[in-house]
A = this chain, B = another copy of it.
Amino acid sequence: EGLKVSKMSNEFNREQLESVLKRRFFFAPSFDIYGGVSGLYDYGPPGCAVQANIVDTWRKHFVHEEDMLEVDTTMLTPYEVLKTSGHVDKFADWMCRDLKTGEIFRADHLVEEVIEARLKGDKLARGHSTESADAEKDKKKKNRKKKVKEIKVEKLDDELVKEYETILAKIDGYSGEELGELMVKYKIGNPATGEALEAPREFNLMFETHIGPSGALRGYLRPETAQGQFLNFEKLLDFNNEKMPFASAAIGKSFRNEISPRSGLLRVREFLMAEIEHYVDPENKSHPKFDAVKDLKLDFLPRDIQEAGKTEPIKMTIGEAVSKKVVDNETLGYFLGRIYLFLMKIGIDPAKFRFREHMQNEMAHYAADCWDGELLTSYGWIECVGCADRSAYDLTVHSRKTGEKLCVRQMLPEPKVVEEYDCEIEKKKFGPKFRRDAPKVEKWLLSQSQEELEDLVKELAANDKIVAKIPDITTGEVEIPGDFVKILKKKKTVHVREYIPNVIEPSFGIGRIIYCLYEHSFWTRPEDSARAVLSFPPSVAPTKVLLVPLSSNAALQPVVKDVKEHLRSAQIPFKVDDSSASIGKRYARNDELGTPFGITIDFDSLKDHSVTLRERDSTKQVRGSLDEVITAIKGITYKGLSWEEGVKNLVPFEAQSEE
């Protein structure tokens, strides 16, 4: 930008940032006067405006630019849908209870914290003073709500230290049972009392409720917006005139009943998501606009590097990443590039960004592969955007469950003769054996895919029967004798190719991105570390202009009124500060709010209708007519001009000191 400001001269201080954010009401704990509820936060006016501006940018950058089909689906979701999607069974964390105190701990977090504390105690005991200072700083940085309140200084066996370090490296990959074994083996209990805890139990993270007056219809608050999009797949494909590929998108709240929320705005129970489901032919994942992103050079941290115990990313272009198969295909690569460009547009620091591939064991149950867009903060690297390959998982399970075909039909250029398995059933035998389950067993057999039929052929050859788990069946499992069914290869002429599309899903945690943006935008003036600034890009800033009359002299009022009317009709969000505080104080207040521009009205304004325009970061000022100044603000805020380009027709103005 050419505005030479040293934003790095004072060290980042999270307490100071949080104090500014709360004082200026960017956010506050919800139900504060009732004592608050952990994991729930409200956004005050500036936070709410930042959110609205980011959502607006997101909609333009993704939905409008790519002609995506945006939908708004309900949060209330019936049990059956989330049972099918796998969330009822698998969307859970491990918790353990202290039966004496009633306290509840998230098992993996507890094991991690206790072992970290023991290792720190060991280092202190060994007199590693530098490291212990670092460790202390780390502790302060990472989390303010630790369960482990005290570090016991105690030297450990070298062997044990190694065991602990191995456990920490693998902490995201343990099952509940394994966590329970670690807790027994290493005597990890309630940190406050030392007492043993109940073995880890699965706790489903969805909020449950009941729909309708009878209480019979169980439901949940959605954990993601994705399911609402998948269920509308047929209607969306029809709306898109059956053209592939295409994407749907949704912006809305989702919910996650965290066991014990911590890390402030980063781990909350109710949050705004923006999700894209891009439906693509599994046999053709090229992307027509791939060239537009292929030369972007980004930091990639693929799975194999992490498995080797390293965290140094590889810097390469998206084009290279795709051609070397670090990133699986062009469509995935295209979205990684678009995600990066979006984050840069809203003001994320490119030096604090990387793409990290999920390890096998940390992927969600529906994902075949996943890259996280991670942002570096004082809490460490934070996952803010997930870009998952959900393959055909969701459309397949919903299609199976409902019997509705969720697939694409594509006319073949010319008919094709294929050999396919065909399943013939001896209908009359089913009734007597399976009774009222008979229709379900028949339907199950007839809805098997080619791959599944191939497996059934093998099973029949080996056992002369099929053992099938069929949802909703009285007995859970049935045995189908070999003479009930014939599965044979047959030649067929087909005119249409039918396929279930794969889904590439860029999924944005808007609240997390906003918090990271606060950290990345925050700095204090080198000359006075108490003067904090939030350097949002003008398009994201909650208010664009602060209007400050130099004095409260009544003579200035008509000009103030005139400037207000002009700003209002230009649709530029502004605030007036006509308080008696000094100009410097008034600007300082608005630097904390991230207001990028100031318009000063002074007695010269009365003569020639000129005003002064101040830039937040550099505090540089220029002067011109009101119309020129408004044109400059619009150009910089909404048309992407730099400050220099925007104000090139205005005259530099020697400001009086801001103090």
A interface, CB within 8 angstroms of B: 24-25, 28, 30-34, 37-38, 40-45, 47-49, 51-52, 59-60, 64-65, 67, 69-78, 80-81, 95, 102, 104, 203, 207-214, 217, 219, 221, 228, 231-232, 234-236, 238-239, 241, 252-253, 255, 257, 259-260, 269-270, 398, 401-402, 404, 406, 568, 571, 573, 575, 579
Contacts and interface: CB of A to CB of B under 8 A. Distances in A.
A59 to B, nearest CB: 8
Nearest to A80: B34
Given A42-B228, A76-B40, A270-B75, A95 B213 contact: yes
Contact of A64 (B33, B257, B573): B573
One complex includes copies of this chain to the number of 2
A41 B74 CA distance: 7
B75 A235 contact: no
B210 A208 contact: yes
B42 A71 contact: yes
Contacts of A270: 74-76
B28 A43 contact: no
15 contacts: A28-B232, A31-B77, A31-B231, A33-B404, A34-B231, A43-B71, A44-B69, A45-B239, A52-B59, A65-B568, A76-B207, A95-B213, A207-B209, A212-B259, A213-B257
Contacts of A72: 42-43, 47-48, 51
B28 A76 contact: no
A488 to B, nearest CB: 31
A28 B235 CA distance: 9
Contact of A231 (B25, B33, B52): B33
A571 B60 contact: yes
A482 to B, nearest CB: 34
B76 A255 contact: yes
Q: Helix, strand, loop or mixed for chain A's interface? A: mixed
A44 B235 contact: yes
Nearest to A250: B48
A232 B104 contact: no
A253 B221 CA distance: 13
Contact of A48 (B49, B71, B575): B71
Nearest to A47: B72
A37 B210 CA distance: 12
Given A33-B398, A45-B69, 13 more contacts: A24-B239, A30-B228, A37-B211, A42-B232, A43-B73, A60-B571, A76-B207, A95-B213, A104-B214, A207-B211, A208-B209, A211-B269, A213-B260
A42 B75 CA distance: 10
A44 B71 contact: yes
B70 A34 contact: no
Contacts of A568: 64-65
Nearest to A234: B33
Contacts of A59: 52
Given A235-B25, A402-B34, A104 B209 contact: no
A42 B73 contact: yes
A207 B65 CA distance: 38
A231 B48 contact: no
A51 to B, nearest CB: 6
Contacts of A235: 25, 28, 32, 44
Nearest to A102: B214
- In this complex, which of A31, A208, A217 has the most chain B Cβ atoms within 10 angstroms of its Cβ? A31
A208 B219 CA distance: 11
10 closest Cβ pairs, A-B complex: A42-B73, A43-B72, A45-B69, A33-B404, A33-B402, A207-B209, A48-B72, A209-B209, A40-B74, A30-B74
